[in-house]
Amino acid sequence: MISKDKVTEIFCIIDDFCKKYDAEIAKNSLKAPDGRKHRNRKGLMSDAEVMAILVYFHFNTFRNFKHYYLFYVKTHLADLFPDQLSYNRFVEVESRVSVQMMLFLQLFCFGECTGISFVDSTCVPVCHNKRIHSNKVFKGYAERGKSTMGWYYGFKLHLICNEKGELLNFMLTRANVDDRNLDVFNRLADNVFGKLYADKGYISQTLFDRLFSNGLNLVTGFRSNMKNKLMPLYDKLMLRKRSVIESINDELKNVAQLVHSRHRSVFNFCMNVLSALVAYSFFEKKPAINIDFDIEERDPTLLTLLS
């Protein structure tokens, strides 16, 4: 559980963003054809309150959002959120803050590229394999895919982070989309430069050439059936530090509630993914590596990496 002071701090940040967002929308909105003002009544709970509750869910140990809302928000956070909606109504109004949640994630939660980036993907199953044929919520959206843990039914989350553990970009695709898909990297690697470290699943000459032409050097390991090539010691050491992004995937699944099988709509599933990524940006401790850039400038082969 996080303290109420932390809850208040995060809410204030989200509330300031929502006020600026509403001001921009009101300034750029089109007037009605008849020239009259139309009612724009606010809801019982503000957009900032709805967003904050969705984000707080990923800080707690609750595995069920309904239990979290009924027995924690309504009981322990009643003083912070006095005008609370019923659970059914709250689930219905989640769609109201979808645009705000996406913009807040992109503008306030992503870090800056430092020239050292890591890329990886993680599976996001939506149901047990035995229930694939009976799943109706994600019919036409989710697909079957295979990960290192076996076959699953759902989606795939692609992430890029820097050496500080800050997210740079993300993309959600179906489970059967290849990690080396060029369309995915056209969006995922936008505004990323320098060197991008990945595992052996990203080995592709076509992908390497496309990224290299855009100023991004893709660095991967070598398979056992490939010809051995010389690699700078700097790149070898950085490949060993890929645990940074793997730890991020672990926190999203085991600390935040990125994966569960209780979704009742595709839209609420997407809101759960967005709120989990936003919550991660507020985590006090993030997996990171310390790099001595002075030594790097003198001699890259003497680069010192501290876990």
Angle formed by the axes of helices 4-28 and 47-56, nearest 10°: 140
Q: What CATH number corresponds to the domain at position 299? A: 3.30.420
The pLDDT of residue 290: 79
**Final residue belonging to a domain, choices 56, 73, 107:** 107
The pLDDT of residue 259: 92
The answer as to whether 269 is a domain residue is no
The answer as to whether 276 is a domain residue is no
Residues 27 and 152 in one domain: no
Residues 122 and 205 in one domain: yes
| Structure confidence by residue, pLDDT tens digits, 82-133 | 999 999 999 999 988 999 999 999 999 999 999 999 999 999 999 999 999 9
Residues 186 and 84 in one domain: no
The pLDDT of residue 1: 61
The answer as to whether 117 is a domain residue is yes
- List Cα–Cα distances, 87 to 205, 233, 250, in angstroms: 51, 55, 29
Residues 86 and 118 in one domain: no
Residues 71 and 160 in one domain: no
The answer as to whether 274 is a domain residue is no
- As to burial, measured by CB atoms within 10 angstroms (0-12 exposed, 13-18 middle, 19+ buried), residue 235 is middle
Residues 61 and 180 in one domain: no
The reported pTM is: 0.88
**Final residue belonging to a domain, choices 107, 125, 160:** 107
Residues 147 and 287 in one domain: yes
Question: In total, how many domains does the chain have?
Answer: 2
Residues 121 and 46 in one domain: no
Residues 147 and 99 in one domain: no
**Residues of the domain holding 154:** 112-262+283-306
| Helix ranges restricted to H, the chain | 4-28, 47-56, 65-68, 74-76, 87-92, 98-104, 182-188, 205-213, 233-240, 243-254, 266-281, 293-298
Strand 167-174 with 143-147, pairing: unpaired
Provide the 3-class DSSP secondary structure of residue 52.
helix
DSSP 69: I
Strand-pairing partners, residue 172, are: 157
> For residues 168 and 192, is the Cβ–Cβ distance under 8 A?
yes
The pLDDT of residue 216: 92
Average pLDDT for consecutive 10-residue bins of the chain (307 residues)? 81 94 82 64 87 92 89 91 92 91 94 93 93 92 90 95 94 94 91 92 92 92 78 87 93 92 89 95 89 49 43
| Structure confidence by residue, pLDDT tens digits, 149-168 | 899 999 999 999 999 999 99
Residues 167 and 298 in one domain: yes
Residues 94 and 223 in one domain: no
**Final residue belonging to a domain, choices 82, 107, 132:** 107
The answer as to whether 241 is a domain residue is yes
Residues 85 and 193 in one domain: no
